[in-house]
Amino acid sequence: MNSKKGIVVTYILVFGSIFLILLGGILSFILFQLRTLNQRAAWNSSLYIAEAGINYYRWCINHGIESSCSAEKDYPNIGGSIIGHFSVSGTSSVSCGETIQKNVVSEGYANKFPETKRRISIIYARESVAKYSYIIDDNVWVGEDHEIRGPFHSNGGIRMDGENQSTVGSAQENWICTSSFGCSSCPTDNGCWIEGFNCVCPGVFTTANGNPDLFSYPIPNFDFNGITVDLAQIKSTAQTSGIYLPPSNTIDSRGQGYHLIFGNDGAVEVRIITDLSRTYAYSLEEGWHYDYFTISSEYTYNTYAVPSACSAIFVEDNLWPEGEVKGKITVASADLINPNNDTDIVLEGSIDYTNKDGSCGLTLIGERNVLIGPDSPDQMELRGIFIAQKGRFGRNHYLWNIKSKLEISGAIVSNGRVGTKWVSGSIVVSGYLKRETYSDPYLLYGPSVFTPYIDPEYKIINWQEL
């Protein structure tokens, strides 16, 4: 009987040990799984905490207190308990003392697993006027030959007979379409109607190739005062850190403006113009008159390497730019010495970039007009952001001066009506027969210094985990 009891005890001990071993293994597995789950939760929480650091820094940027935000901060839960920490720091891409972009790095971790850290990097930037292919503060008629790829906005009415690949927006619910917009015979079949002696049309309408599905009106008026460039600031900066060119007649009594030729080596050749030929021309603002836009005599004044730390050029005179731009450069033309004189920019030659990967860009700012001259190339290519601050972007009517193709990559900002082709009846009498305009996405968040922004707040344009 005792031997049987001994056998039972032995079995109990053996199987009990096996049970305890199995139970210990199961408990260890359960605890391991719980730790893994907690660690995974902490891993996910670390990302959320790091993103909280990014959002905190963005708040600092948009409230102008960035200098006090590069630090380590506690991260509380909804109940106020501290469950983690983040550390955040930022660097800026700066030109002429102006911030173009900001790179922010944030590292976060949960208190339960402080060794489980995650880091993310964000690039913040603001939207420039390069978001649009055109921003106009007047009524406009886009011809049938014109192909536009990029948002188009006007504070006035728009007759969009061109082929629009993107949105077309007008701040007008309706407008009076006159004969200068081809409405001598009111296009009632295209949504217009007659009121008294006026032809009234919707804010945006088409009689040819426009896509009405992309039309929008009325939309909020675009604040042109908000994108007005501070020319005095550019002048002051160029005098101290960039390139400043005084009135040409202060250097040479024969001076009538400057001819700038950009080179693919990053330099700019500056020529002083001493004589200009006249061309009989017509514009809606001046009627028939003579344009003195054709260079007939000039000489090289100097060649400058454009400073990489401040690529700003201010010309206190009329300006003729052309060439191949390397890097990102801003050129402004204005006469701030004589308040009764507004300068113009004349485009007589093509403007291209050395590289088309976003590393090059040009912003041209004319105090009054930015105009394509009578001797422009038969096939002309323009790259950049062109701003006619008080006047207009366009090409005057030159008698039977007809060119083949104009291609623009960038953005046009014009206070007045834009036009580069003139039609009498159905006959082209001046300008470019075929026109294409493309917005440049590289310049949207990374334009040249002093390019105006349409939104003052910084937005995330790039996100990556490090």
Query: Which pLDDT belongs to residue 303?
Result: 97
One-letter amino acid at 392 equals R
341-377 pLDDT, tens digit per residue, is 999 999 999 999 999 999 999 999 999 999 999 999 9
Name the more confident of 27 and 291. Answer: 291
Tokens encoding 66: 């960035």
Instruction: Show Cβ contacts of residue 15 under 8 Å, excluding neighbours closer than 6 positions.
Output: none
Lowest model confidence (mean pLDDT) among 6-15, 86-95, 325-334, 391-400: 6-15
Task: Say how far apart CA 87 and CA 54 lie, in whole Å.
Answer: 9
Report whether pLDDT(321) > 90.
yes
Mean pLDDT of the chain: 90
Q: What is the CA radius of gyration of the chain?
A: 32
Would you say 192 and 202 are in contact if contact means Cβ atoms under 8 Å apart? yes
Would you say 221 and 281 are in contact if contact means Cβ atoms under 8 Å apart? no
Report whether pLDDT(167) > 60.
yes
Instruction: Show Cβ contacts of residue 361 under 8 Å, excluding neighbours closer than 6 positions.
Output: 325, 328, 329, 353, 384, 385, 440, 442, 443, 446, 447, 448
Q: Of 271, 268, 262, 336, give the one whose Cα is nearest residue 298.
A: 271
Q: Is 90 exposed, middle or buried (0-12, 13-18, 19+ CB in 10 A)?
A: buried
Q: What is the mean pLDDT of residues 84-89?
A: 85
Beta bridge partners of 360: none
Q: What is the mean pLDDT of residues 293-319?
A: 97
Would you say 124 and 59 are in contact if contact means Cβ atoms under 8 Å apart? no
Query: Which pLDDT belongs to residue 15?
Result: 63
Share of the chain above pLDDT 90, in %: 67
Greatest CA separation found in the chain? 133
Name the more confident of 38 and 259. Answer: 259
Lowest model confidence (mean pLDDT) among 35-39, 130-134, 288-292: 35-39
Query: Structure pTM?
Result: 0.87
Report whether pLDDT(325) > 90.
yes
Lowest model confidence (mean pLDDT) among 50-54, 65-69, 419-423: 65-69
First to last CA, the chain: 73
Would you say 420 and 432 are in contact if contact means Cβ atoms under 8 Å apart? yes
Query: Which pLDDT belongs to residue 102?
Result: 86
3-state secondary structure of 285: coil
- Residues written for the chain: 466
Would you say 343 and 314 are in contact if contact means Cβ atoms under 8 Å apart? no
Name the more confident of 369 and 8. Answer: 369
109-158 pLDDT, tens digit per residue, is 888 778 778 889 988 889 999 999 999 999 999 999 999 999 999 999 99
3-state secondary structure of 136: strand
Query: Which pLDDT belongs to residue 281?
Result: 97
Q: What are phi and psi of 171, to 5 degrees?
A: -80, -5
